[in-house]
Each structure stands twice: as C-alpha cells, then as structure tokens.
Amino acid sequence: MDGATPRKRPLPIRIGRRSAASGAAEEETVAGKARAVEEEEEEPLSPAAQLFHQPGFDCCIVAIMGLGKPADVDVIRSGLAATLVRHPRFSSVPVLEESGGAEPRWVRTKVVVENHIVIPALEDQRRAAASPDQVVEDYVASLTSAPLDRSRPLWDLHVLNFPTSEAAAVAVLRVHHSLGDGTSLMSLLLACTRKASDPHSLPTIPHQSRRPLVSRKLHAGGAFTLLLWLWAFLILAWNTLLDVLRFTATSAFSKDTTTPLTGPKGVEYHPKRIVHRTVSLDDIKDVKNAMHCTVNDVLVGVTSAGLSRYLSRRYGQNVDEHGKKTQLPSNIRLQSTLLVNIRPSPGVHALAELMEGRHSGTKWGNYIGYIILPFSIFKYKDPMDYIRKGKEIAGRKKNSLEAIFTYKSGELIVKCLGIKAGAALCHRVLSNTTLSFSNMIGPVEEVAFYDHPIVYLAPSVYGHPQALTVHFQSYMNMMKMVVTVDDKVIPDAHQLLDDFAESLKLIKEAIPTKP
C-alpha cells in the first residue's frame, strides 16, 4: 500500500571517541577502549554491509531447522559458545555513526550466549492453533516484524521445543544480512554441524562448478584454437552486454508486469510468512538426467511452471466487463533477482578452523552481485517445455559477467556518490522485479547441530522490497521448497507450494520413455 508506515527500527549505535560502553551491561563493547585494543579488534563495514543498514534494506537471513530429538538447550548453548560466537562477525556490533566522521566499522564485544537464545512460551498458542506446524509458522512470521537488538551482535537462536509433523523440535537461527551473504552464512551454519554417523567429521558438501558452459565445452573437447576461443569470448561479451542493458533498463524505468504477485510500495516493512514443502531430490535428478541439464535448470523450469499455474488460477478468479473469467495474459514480464557470490565461497572446513581460532585465510563478508533472471509465464501443453526454457535461460546466464558488473558498478557508485545512492539503486532494481530466487546445495548425509540430528533445513530471507521469495535447499535425498510471502499480497502461500509440487510431478511424468 502506498501509505505503508515503516516499522520502527532501533537507531544505529553511536559511540563517541571517549565512550566506554553501549548496550546491555553483560555485553560491553570495546569501542570506548579503541586505542587500547589491537587493530584486529575492529574492521570496516564493507559497502554491501552498510547497504543492509540502510532504510528499506533491513534484511535478515532465517534458517529453520527441524531437529530429530527434543532440544537440550544447555548443550546447544555450550556448542554456540565453543564455535559460532568465536567468529568475528558473531561477536561484533556495527558502529555506524560516530563523532569525528569515522568510517562505519565492526567492533568486537563480549558475548553472553544466553542473551541470544530465546525460548518462547507458546502454550496458549498451541492450545488455540489447529496444529503445531501452524504455531511454528506464526511464530516465525512474528520474527519478521521484530528487529534484532542493535546493542548486541546481530543474531539470535529461537528454540521451539515441541514436536511438529516433521520434527521433534524446531530451532530458528536469525542472522542480519550485514554479517555475510547467504552462501557464507549457510557454510558457517554447516561448519557448526557434524555428520550424524561420525560426530568428529564435518558434513560433505558437493562441489558446484562455477566455470562458464562455453569454457567447459572447450576444455572437454580440447579445442584451444584461437578461433574457438574468440567465438567463446564473443558469446560471453554479447551475453554480458545484453544483461547489462537489461539491468540498466530495470534500474532506470523498466518494471515487471503488475500481477497478483507484485508487492506494493513499502512491502519491505510488512511481516512475512515463511512456509516450506519437501519434495524428492531423486525426482529432480531424474528430470535433470532425462533433459541433460543441471539441477538448477530444473528448478528454474519448475518455478516457472508453478508460477504459471498459480497465476492462471488467480486470474481465473476474476471476471471481465462481459462477465467472463479472465485468462492468464500471454505477455507477462516477470523477473527475479538472484544474488550471486562472486568469489569462491568459504568451505565448511575453513570456517571450522576460523571458529577454532586458527587462521585459515578465509575472506568473509558480502561479495555479491545481482543477476536478473526472467521466468517464462505461459501455459505450455508439454510440461517439459518449462525445463527446456529454464535450461535455455539459465545456460545463457552461465555465460555472462552480469554479476561481476553489478558488483563493480555498485562499488563504484558507492565510492563516487555514497552509500545512499547505492542503496537507492538496489532498492529500485528489486522494486521493479517481482521476486527473489535462490538455490543452495546442502549436505548429502544426515548432520547434527550440536548433537541434535537435523531432519530438515529451510532457509530464507526477509526485509527486501518484494512480496515473494523462492528458495530451494537440498539436504540428503530431499529438496526443500521455501516460499516467503507478504500475506496481504499472497494469502494462499501453501497453495503456491502445492502448485510447485504438482508442477514437478507433471514434469516427471512427462519424461520421455525409452523405446
């Protein structure tokens, strides 16, 4: 709604040069003793980290973990103290403004783990709700309108210690996006886990190739002739040029078609509902193998099919001036923004060493660029056409430097015009697109979070100016489909998940049978 009132956010921490403390008594910052601490105790906030402290970008990453047994809070507390809080970002507070014009920076602080663990009393809600799942869903939704305490390191863990349909208990880790990008934070979370079958071993994460498709083909065929390398360069340059033009147009004037998925002005301040559904990873791999593509290509196609199915229903609920049901328009422009980590993500082993106090040379922070990923919204007769189109779109994006361009251009704008100009550009790009989309690879075997087996993992993000976020998270032989919505825009989030699941089913059934 145009008249949306931004939710109140705590003021940034302001620390004078001679200030001695800020925040709770148990968590005294060392900002007032800056001259006495070592230089490594403070680090500057990167431009991306500063972005997530600007109005309209108060973003948090949420990881919902289903646990295989009731939560032992004492064990979890000890585990956090021995690992997560030893990470520099999880033991620092951001100092955004200070007299004298000092640069925004991270300042180390003493962390009291108890202050970051929340065990809510939900007995009344459990009696009133239709199911425990609904209680968890409502509670997580309430977190999206409850800002983190800025006087402490920007993270907390909420333990809902009662059984649901999928788990014996649920833990919700909430982390402010300024602490790191989604890939780094997910790697950090997994570095706090161990294999359930071997408590001394870190989880196994499949390697994901980052090389462009054209480069892979050249290497595979041994075709290193000047002509072929020139052709590969021209393809890369052409795709990058088209993507840069699309990005520039989107940031300046080109907006997506207004649909039932479009968020209103001020949607970033609205509470969000996070729902998830489990589907078989083997089904997705069957489609991948049949179409000779990647898992990500399949997920792009399934998302396109699910959104087409959902929008077709929503449009069919209305009638035109002649009393006829409206049809799904054939020229819908619907795009997603995809955040891409432009440097190699820190591995779980490197992060485990970092939390053990060993220097691993791991780079940390938000090193992310934007990719604008279009979705084909159309009712194809052959369900496999969604996969073919998804493969075509995703394949072209693999041969583009769009993410690097957007990161570097954003960095240049911040240097020349300041962080507010950079934030305005990012806000405009997200506001002119419909949704955010991401896909992340998880462990291939069962892992335990401080001796608590994880039965499912459902991450997402909120606080950005879109009404819909779609995330896919693999874990063992499962794929979690996670949808985050503004209830006022998309009141039937579970129906949207049904449409994704049904689309995958129809696509799998349409796999050509071998003669």
Catalytic-residue membership of 177: yes
Nearest-CA neighbor of 90 among 110, 118, 62? 110
* CA–CA dist 54, 465 (Å, integer): 13
Give residues with Cβ within 8 angstroms of 220, minimum separation 6: none
Q: Where are the beta strands (DSSP E) in 97-197?
A: 105-108, 117-118, 155-160, 169-176, 193-195
Mapping DSSP onto H, E and C, the string for 298-364 reads: HHHHHHHHHHHHHHHHHHHCCECCCCCECCCCCCCCEEEEEEEECCCCCCHHHHHHHHCCCCCCCCC
Strands (DSSP E) along 420-512, which ranges? 435-440, 447-449, 454-462, 468-475, 478-485
Helix 384-398 to helix 281-291 angle (10° resolution) is 80
For 86, 155, 187, the CA distances from 354, given in Å and listed in that order, are 8, 18, 12
Contact between 284 and 298 (Cβ < 8 Å): yes
Q: Contact, 338 vs 296, CB < 8 A?
A: no
Q: Where are the beta strands (DSSP E) in 177-244?
A: 193-195
| Backbone angle region of 215, left / alpha / beta, with phi > 0 → left and psi within -120 to 50 → alpha | alpha
| DSSP secondary structure code for residue 176 in this structure | E
DSSP alpha helices (H): ranges in 5-58?
47-51
Total length of the chain: 515
Q: Is the dihedral of CA 150, 151, 154, 155 positive or negative?
A: negative
180: DSSP letter? -
**Nearest to 451, CA basis, from 281, 200, 139:** 200
C-alpha distances out from residue 8 to 5, 56, 269, Å = 9, 11, 9
Residue in 177, 276, 427, 464 annotated catalytic: 177
Cα 247 from chain centre? 20
> Rounded CA gap, 221 and 421, in Å?
46
Annotated catalytic residues are 177
